[in-house]
Every structure is written in structure tokens, then in C-alpha cells.
Amino acid sequence: MRTIDVQQIIEAVAKICQEANYKLEDDVLDSFKKACNTEVSQSGKEILNLLLENAHIASSESIPMCQDTGFAVVFVEMGQDVHVINGDFNEAINEGVRKGYQEGYLRKSIVGNPLDRVNTGDNTPAVIHTNIVPGEKIKITVAPKGGGSENMSALKMLKPAEGVEGVKGFVLETIKNAGPNPCPPLVIGVGIGGTMERCALLAKEALLRQIGKPHPLEDIAKLEQELLDKINRMGIGPAGLGGRTTALGVHIEIFGAHIASLPVAVNINCHAARHKSVEI
């Protein structure tokens, strides 16, 4: 049994909250560069180059790449042989978010009560998803999620008879209805199966996958590519001003489903596909 003090968790979360908002992962930057070479729209090329320049400035000067520094969505892989000491684990995560957003001068975007709309002033509470895994380490991933792209996300409980064509139709309809609002080029997470809440989480988890890395099941990988091709033929383009690069990637995750259900969730991420991980 390994013991980990909550202060280690607080400091680690604070650090990656800032890093996630300052530095895009290489797969995102490489996707921008690749899209610059394939984009036929001149305005689209200019926007993609501006996104690369913006990412460079944010990283080199340690400033947020976007004014919306996001809801702190935290994914935890908790080793079953870890004992957290000197405090509450979930409160440590929230304290790390609080510290990271305050010391990093990141915008505080969270209201405590969604109806009275009073800002909490420290970007908490975080959304925390914890999965117990073998081992004696803790892996924490912070994925700041902007409000504009989240607002365009959707879930639908299809009838099983609607099958894969129903899934494709819903995904394409969701992206068409979103238009320029989620700040394309997009990364699109799709969850298929499970219950309503599990399906939505699948779609969120899909956003963490390296852009362009296909699903290990061949039929799902083909579906990802088909959807990406069709989405990029919609003509929405970078910033919604037209072009071939509406999405950088479509990632699908699946789970077992009830015989009476076919849930489908689409979680849209803007071009700032932010996430950073740390292992303690």
C-alpha cells in the first residue's frame, strides 16, 4: 500500500490546469499543420495559420490560448493500492483547480447554482470522473471544456432498429446544427451504447484520444473515417467561414447496451482540444 498526501494532488492539479490552458498537445498542432496543406479555402488556410500562431504565443508566454479557460473536467485513474492521507481526495482536486486558476490568472467561468447564476470565483466545482485501476499510482488528466462547444453537444436515445444509419444521421445532424458556434475546426467525440449517462461520458472520454488514432475495432474505425469525410464535406470550415476543415478528427467509443436501447452522444470540442496529464 502506497500513501500519497493530498498536498501532492493539489500541486499536481494546479500545475496541469495551467499547462492545459497554455500548451496544446503535439497531435493538435500537427493536425493544424496537416490541415493547412489540404485546405482549399484561402480564408481557411489563414485561420489555421492564425491558430498555430496563437498556440505558439500562448505556449511561449504562458498565457491562455482562449479567453474561455473552461470547466475543469478531471479524469482520475486511481490505483487500488493507493491510500490518500491528510485530507479528502475530491476536495484536493477542487483545491488544485482553485489554486491553478487563481495563480494562473485563468478566467473563472463556473456558477454555483445554475439558476441564480452567481459565479463561484475560483472555477470550482470541478467535474471529477474516478476509475479504480490496478497499481499504486494516480494518473490525473485535466481537460478544460469550453462552454461554446459544450452547448452544441447532444444526446439521443435511438431505437435499436435505427442501427448504424441512425447513428450516422444523428451525428451529422448535430454537427450541421452546430455550424460555426463551437469554433471549428472541431474534435468530435461520439459515444455509442451504455445508459444515458454512460453514453455521454463515453463521448467525453473519446475527446482524450490522440487525434487521428483510429479505434482498435476495424468497423468502428471505418465509421470514424466515414463520418469525418462527410463532416468535412459540409463546407462549414475553419471558424465557420467555409472550407474542407470542419473537423480534425472523429473519435468513437462504445459500450454494451440494453436490448431495448441505442444511446448516442456527440460531445463537440473546439479547436482548442486541451488536456494535460500527470502521474503521481
Residues 30-82: tens digit of each pLDDT? 999 999 999 999 999 999 999 999 999 999 999 999 999 999 999 999 999 99
**Mean pLDDT rounded to a whole number for the chain:** 97
Output the CA–CA distances (angstroms, integers) from residue 153 to 187, 222, 234, 269, in the order listed: 12, 22, 18, 9
Q: What is the pLDDT of residue 223?
A: 98
Contact 134, 77 (CB under 8 A): no
In the structure grid, which three cell numbers stand for residue 35, read together? 490541415
Torsion angle, alpha carbons of 42, 43, 47, 48, to 10:
-30
For residue range 211-240, list pLDDT tens digits in order. 989 999 999 999 999 999 999 999 999 999
Cα 178 from Cα 189, distance rounded (Å): 14
